[in-house]
């Protein structure tokens, strides 16, 4: 029987080219065009006062990839090489931009761990633990900063400014949990098996608490470094927020990313950062927008270049292959 000429072999080069074109189109639609439209703010003359602060912001953000790789290595159930794990973290950037809520990074790390002989359960446990520790690390820094320095009136005003997004993000999590429970009701035996496997995996972490603590410290370091990059972008434009205020603005924008159903919270994150800067510093809108665009340039555009190259290298070396 002759092969249908319209039938597509998903393992063929033609299929890979089509998928690549679709992903490139989504990248242009969701990321490149909106960001280019936002660059109009620079035409109004808003340039950094000190480029050294911009370079420092880039350096601190680059370190987050190193910390992320070390965190995965701590949590993994089998030994991982640092260079390959770091390469995978960069390779996840393009997919992370296209998919919301960090799904791209979790998916790439899951495939990498499967390639490194982790069972689906253990690979899922690692990426889930890494994600939860990221939230815990961020909250830990917030608690410590405001336990030491306290809240001021602008912080309280900023909290109420973001309360809408906090409520939306909470409702989304509740709805997802409810749907998950409804879907799993007919799979009680699978749930019991899942529970046994999860308990076995958790027992493994109990036997090596240093690794879990190391991953937790990496999560704290990643939150500190990313917020530090944001703070230096503000300094570069003469916006002199305290570090704890900058960390609060950045942390609340992470919540917005959960509530905005766009890849990486595109649009919503920029708007929330600008609103937070204006609310706490009362700076001009043009300067606030310019500082946020500089931060997004450092945390999205430049890593995209490195990520595209890393994704190509990962594909060539088959680091995400199960074979």
Q: Over the stretch 40-85, which tens digit does the pLDDT of each residue have?
A: 544 444 678 888 999 999 999 999 999 999 999 999 989 999 999 9
In terms of average pLDDT, the best of 187-191, 214-218, 256-260 is: 214-218
Is the separation of the CB atoms in 145 and 250 below 8 Å?
Answer: no
Residue 247 confidence (pLDDT) above 50? yes
Helix or strand holding residue 223 (H, E): helix 209-236
Whether residue 30 has pLDDT greater than 60: no
Q: Is residue 95 a part of any domain in this protein?
A: yes
Which one, of 277, 230, 222, lies nearest residue 58 by Cα? 230
Q: Which pLDDT does position 95 carry in this prediction? A: 81
Report the alpha-carbon distance of residue 323 to residue 317 in Å, rounded: 12
Instruction: Give a yes or no: residue 15 inside a domain.
Output: no
212 backbone dihedrals φ, ψ, rounded to 5°: -65, -40
SS3 152: coil
Residue 10 covered by a domain = no
Structure tokens at 117: 């002989």
Q: For residue 221, tell me if it sits in a domain.
A: yes
d(CA 129, CA 134): 8
Q: Examine residue 257 and state whether it is found in any structural domain, yes or no.
A: yes
Token pair belonging to 188: 């009680």
User: Of the spans 97-106, 153-162, 203-212, which averages the highest pLDDT?
Assistant: 203-212
Residue 77: CB atoms within 10 A of its CB come to 20
Give the separation between CA 111 and CA 114, rounded to whole angstroms: 5
Residue 298's alpha-carbon distances to 244, 269, 293, 295, 303, in angstroms, are: 21, 15, 9, 5, 7
pLDDT tens digit string along 223-234? Answer: 999 999 999 999
Q: Does residue 16 sit within a domain?
A: no
Residue 38 falls within a domain, yes or no? no
In the chain, the number of structural domains is 1
Residue 189 lies in a domain: yes
Q: Both tokens of residue 257?
A: 């990313």
Q: Give the domain extent around 117.
A: 49-317
DSSP category for residue 80:
-
Cα 227 from Cα 246, distance rounded (Å): 7
Q: Rg of the chain's alpha carbons, rounded to an integer?
A: 21
The Cα 174–Cα 290 span in angstroms is 36
CA dist 82 and 158 (Å) reads 40
- pLDDT of the residue at 286: 82
Cα gap 247→223, rounded to integer Å = 9
Per-residue pLDDT, averaged over 265-283, amounts to: 73
277 half-sphere exposure, CB direction, 13 A CA radius: 27
Which two structure tokens, joined as six digits, stand for 78?
A: 């089998």
């Amino acid at each position: 029987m002759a092969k249908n000429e319209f039938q597509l072999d998903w393992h063929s080069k033609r299929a890979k080219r089509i998928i690549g074109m679709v992903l490139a189109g989504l990248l242009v639609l969701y990321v490149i065009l909106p960001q280019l439209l936002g660059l109009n703010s620079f035409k109004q003359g808003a340039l950094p006062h000190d480029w050294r602060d911009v370079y420092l912001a880039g350096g601190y953000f680059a370190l987050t990839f190193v910390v992320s790789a070390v965190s995965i290595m701590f949590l993994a159930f089998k030994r991982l090489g640092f260079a390959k794990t770091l390469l995978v973290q960069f390779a996840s950037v393009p997919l992370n931009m296209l998919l919301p809520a960090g799904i791209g990074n979790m998916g790439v790390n899951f495939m990498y761990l499967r390639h490194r002989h982790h069972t689906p359960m253990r690979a899922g446990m690692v990426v889930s633990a890494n994600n939860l520790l990221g939230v815990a690390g961020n909250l830990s820094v917030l608690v410590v900063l405001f336990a030491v320095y306290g809240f001021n009136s602008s912080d309280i005003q900023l909290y109420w400014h973001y309360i809408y997004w906090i409520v939306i993000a909470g409702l989304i999590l509740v709805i997802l949990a409810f749907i998950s429970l409804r879907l799993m009701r007919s799979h009680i035996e699978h749930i019991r098996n899942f529970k046994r496997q999860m308990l076995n995996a958790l027992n493994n972490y109990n036997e090596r608490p240093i690794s879990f603590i190391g991953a937790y410290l990496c999560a704290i370091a990643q939150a500190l470094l990313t917020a530090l990059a944001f703070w230096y972008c503000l300094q570069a434009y003469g916006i002199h927020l305290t570090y704890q205020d900058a960390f609060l603005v950045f942390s609340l924008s992470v919540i917005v990313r959960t509530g905005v159903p766009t890849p990486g919270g595109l649009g919503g994150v920029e708007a929330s950062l600008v609103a937070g800067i204006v609310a706490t510093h009362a700076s001009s809108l043009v300067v606030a927008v310019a500082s946020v665009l500089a931060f997004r340039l450092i945390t999205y555009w430049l890593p995209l270049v490195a990520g595209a190259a890393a994704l190509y290298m990962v594909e060539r070396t088959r680091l995400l292959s199960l074979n």
